[in-house]
Amino acid sequence: MKNRSHSRRLAIIAVFFFALPVVSWSEDAIDEIVVSADFRERAASELPASITVLDSEEIQSMAVQHFEELVNAIPNLNWSGDGHRARYFQIRGVGELEQYQGAPNPSVGFLIDDIDFSGIGTVATLFDMQQVEVLRGPQGTRYGANALAGLIYMRSALPTPDFEGGAELTIGDDGTFAGGVALGGGIGADDRLMYRLSAHHHQSNGFRDNRYFNRDDTNGREETTVRGRMRWSDGDRWQVDLAAVFANVNNGYDAFALDNSLTMLSDKPGKDAQESIGASVRVEFSGLANATLTSITSVADSDIEFSYDADWGNDDSWAPVTYDYISISDRQRTTLSQEFRLAATNWLVGVYAMRLEDELVTVNLGDYYDPFYDFADSLDDTFGSDYDATNFAAFGQYDHDIGNASRVSFGLRAERRTTDYGDTAGLIADPAESMFGGELTFIHYHSDSITSFVSLSKGYKAGGFNLGLVPDDRREFGAEELWNLEAGIKSSLLDGTLLLNAAIFVSRRDDQQVRTSFQLIPGDPASFVFFTDNAAKGETVGFEADIRWTPSDAWMVYANIGLLDASFDKFETPQVDLSGRAQAHAPDYTLAVGASYRHPSGVFARIDMSARDDFYFDVSHDQISDPYELVNARLGYQASSWSVNLWARNLFDEKYAVRGFYFGNEPPDFPNTLYTRLGDPRQMGVTFAKDF
């Protein structure tokens, strides 16, 4: 039955694509896309790296509310559903799956308007977002220790001198209701000062039914975002950009069921909430001789609550056994960063400093009583930690032209990280380390429309320390290095109507950090020990391609392809032997294909299909997900100043898992069982938009 269902879905999609030959041809070229995440703003076709860029039109067409809805459209990007919203990402199989304790140490950088939210990307809502950029591979020169695997950069809509604005209203099933407004324009007669403001609120029930409370909103979503941007320019030498954000994501967390369904039994539903206030100031001065001085300052303060019902049940679930556990964590994180860089035509130098303060308080409570064995146990544990880290870095890049059609580029970054950690368990640690990364790139311009590149890059990730019951000689672990050899081509063909960007890569991870976990006490679901070691080397070979074709004014077709073979070379611990095994959350293939049609009358339609192979859920066990395919669709009408569209996500109601745990959580015998967190089921809605 499953294969027949998949065949029916593929047949519907094939009919949509086979309609393409009836369209008329056009000479209109695809607009050039400018990348902001690089040192210099430049066209994506000129950046010697594997990158996917989604503009505002694609964001609005492919997603409803949050960045996690875009993940399946991006090659070799995955996310861990260890929370309500996606905040832990894996690029090419590299990235964290969770962070319950210890020091923040992300592998994937995540920035919104130059504000660093790495590891806490819950606030990545999409209303009034202008562009999303995903750079794959180590960013050792540009971003250093927090971008071992790559970088996700989101940029909200920029101010314009002309007054413009818009409003949006969304209504859908699952109790979805959302509304937003954005406006901006110039201030003063000369338009040297411009502004843009936006506000948006989204709420829905979260696709779960809690049978114990007879409620459908214990996993509910309540997400509010307010953004502001200002730009001032003297028209000649100075440009100042200010961005600010207030985000209040107050989501429930009731996502795991004992039968791996969407029906919950918990009597203490949790929360996955984050309130963040952040701002950035970018100042550019071009009054120097043949050089530009750039200053980027950012600050963010986040209050994060993460709690869950650790036994996933209630008194009736376990009777006559008493089994009741809950875990509550409150995290306060503050970041302050400053970067200065001086750039000329073919060289760049800069310095960077960042201060991070992270305070965590975790409370674990529980009671257990088995009347058959007359055994009782209770848990009342409070754990607190303070973590401060300071990063200083100096970096540079030099470009040298070889003839009229080639260029070699060399980049280097040196970074020093010092930390200070203390917790209520008596652990005090202050490791410090120096790290180096960079890249060597060769670019050749075959023509105005075809460019190829070869690059050798090195990324790095800082070391850290383990908490809890670990041997003293395993208390600290060292920094990790990632070497990446990559070759790619970027092309604009058929008079600019066909864009084809592709890359192949081979990477090696030295002193690879591997985080495993195991349960100390079978009857205590909060007694997990998380342990990181450097005992592994990793090897990865892969391919990525972004293809976009506009055969006519009415049609657009795309395909994004990722192939990946990411494995451990050798890794053994007393708990696991991962030698030769594939890495976690690293599917062998990721695929996204789609097409859109827009009639001159204003009627438009779009269909998107994504697919990904199975993958290991974790390194602590060998449980594997099922491969899955998702289909999204839109149908609407666009007038001169307003639009309406009907949308469906997961049109065929595919059941798929985004996270999996394997442990004992059912008394009295506590057999090891695979528990999965499911992705969102089918959802349908309508969105009205009005420009003014």
Compute CA distances 243 → 128, 232, 294, 400, whole Å.
13, 12, 16, 34
Q: Which amino acid would we find at residue 70?
A: L
Task: Share the mean pLDDT of the chain.
Answer: 90
From CA 668, how far away is CA 681, in angstroms rounded? 33
pLDDT at residue 335 greater than cutoff 60: yes
pLDDT value, residue 14: 43
- Tokens coding 407: 């260029």
Which of 594, 592, 591 is closest to 555 using CA atoms?
Answer: 594
pLDDT number for residue 98 = 84
Nearest to 619 by CA among 518, 690, 511: 518
Amino acid 25: pLDDT: 40
The owner of tokens 């039994």 is 265
Beta carbons of 270 and 222 less than 8 angstroms apart:
no
Q: In the structure, what pLDDT confidence band is assigned to residue 21 with cuts at 50, 70 and 90?
A: very low
Q: What are phi and psi of 392, to 5 degrees?
A: -120, 135
Question: What integer pLDDT is reported at residue 579 of this predicted model?
Answer: 84
In sequence order, which ranges of 81-149 are alpha helices (DSSP H)?
Answer: none
3-state secondary structure 304-348: EEEEEECCCCCHHHHCCCEEEEEEEEEEEEEEEEEEEEEECCCEE
Residue 89 has pLDDT above 50, yes or no: yes
DSSP per residue, 503-553:
EEEEEEEEEEEEEEEEESSTT-TT-EEEEEEEEEEEEEEEEEEEEEE--SS
Locate 657 and state its tokens: 């898992």
pLDDT at 468 exceeding the cut of 90: no
pLDDT in tens, 477-498: 888 999 999 999 999 999 989 9
- Return the CATH architecture of domain 2-266+275-691: Beta Barrel (2.40)
Task: Flag whether pLDDT at 7 surpasses 80.
Answer: no
Q: For residue 11, report the phi and psi dihedrals to the nearest 5 degrees.
A: -65, -40
| Short-list 116, 70, 137, CA closest to 457 | 137
> Alpha carbon 135 to chain centroid distance?
11
Q: Please, what sign has the CA dihedral across residues 19, 21, 26, 31? A: positive
CA atoms within 13 A on the CB side of 590: 27
| More confident call, 390 vs 374 | 390
Stated as kind and residue range, the H or E segment containing 56 is helix 56-62
Rounded to whole angstroms, how far apart are CA atoms 392 and 371?
58
Neighbours of 320 (CB within 10 A): 10
pLDDT of 19 reads 41
- The gap from C-alpha 99 to its chain's centroid, in whole angstroms, comes to 15
Contacts of 566 (CB under 8 A, 6+ apart): 92, 93, 94, 538, 539, 540, 542, 582, 583, 586
Classify burial at 289, counting beta carbons within 10 Å of its beta carbon; exposed 0-12, middle 13-18, buried 19 or more.
exposed
Report the pLDDT value the prediction gives residue 650, as an integer from 0 to 100: 98
Instruction: Please give the structure tokens belonging to residue 382.
Output: 């409070």
Give mean pLDDT, residues 121-150: 93
Cβ pair 118, 150 in contact under 8 A: no
- With cut-offs at 50, 70 and 90, classify the pLDDT of residue 27: very low
Does pLDDT of 13 surpass 70? no
Query: Which of 388, 363, 392, 366 lies closest to 379, judged by CA?
Result: 366
- Tell me the pLDDT tens digit for each residue of 491-549: 999 998 999 999 999 999 999 888 776 655 665 665 556 778 887 789 999 999 999 99
Query: Could you tell me what percent of the chain has a pLDDT over 90?
Result: 76
Q: Which two tokens stand for residue 450?
A: 């075809």
pLDDT at 121 exceeding the cut of 90: no
The SS3 of residue 14 is helix
Phi and psi at residue 256, to the nearest 5°: -110, 130
Closest by CA to 99, choosing from 517, 538, 521, is 517
Q: Which of 39, 108, 147, 659 is nearest to 411 (CA)?
A: 39
Beta strand segments in 520-641, E: 528-549, 555-570, 589-598, 603-612, 628-638
- The CA dihedral of 107, 109, 110, 113, to the nearest 10 degrees, is 170
pLDDT at 189: 79
Overall pTM surpassing 0.85 (yes/no)? yes
Residue count (the chain): 692
Q: Where are the domains of the chain?
A: 2-266+275-691
Q: What is the pLDDT of residues 562-598, one digit of tens each?
A: 999 999 987 776 666 788 899 999 999 999 999 999 9
Q: Identify the band that residue 24 occupies on the pLDDT scale cut at 50, 70 and 90.
A: very low
Q: Residue 58: pLDDT above 90? A: yes
On the question of pLDDT at 391 being above 50, the answer is yes
The predicted-structure confidence for 417-454, as pLDDT tens digits, reads as follows 999 999 998 889 898 999 999 999 999 999 989 999 99
Handedness of CA 571, 576, 579, 580 (dihedral sign): negative
Neighbours of 410 (CB within 10 A): 15
491 forms beta bridges with: 450, 500
The answer on pLDDT for 179 being more than 60 is yes
Beta-ladder partners of 633: 607, 648
C-alpha to C-alpha distances, 309 to 143, 266, 268, nearest whole angstrom: 37, 6, 5
Which three-class secondary structure string do you get for 371-427? CCCCEEEEEEEEEEEEEEEEEEEEEEEEEEEECCCEEEEEEEEEEEEEEEEEECCCC
For the cut 90, the answer to whether the pLDDT of residue 15 exceeds it is no
Per-residue pLDDT averaged across 633-647, rounded? Answer: 97
CA separation for the pair 263, 676 (Å, rounded): 13
**What is the C-alpha separation between 122 and 67, in angstroms, rounded?**
9
> Residue 374 pairs with which residues in a beta bridge?
none
Average pLDDT over residues 27-54: 78
Q: Tell me the sheet residues that pair with 465.
A: 476
What integer pLDDT is reported at residue 18 of this predicted model?
41
Long-range CB contacts (within 8 A, 24+) of 404-407: 405/444, 405/445, 405/446, 406/442, 406/443, 406/444, 406/445, 407/442, 407/443
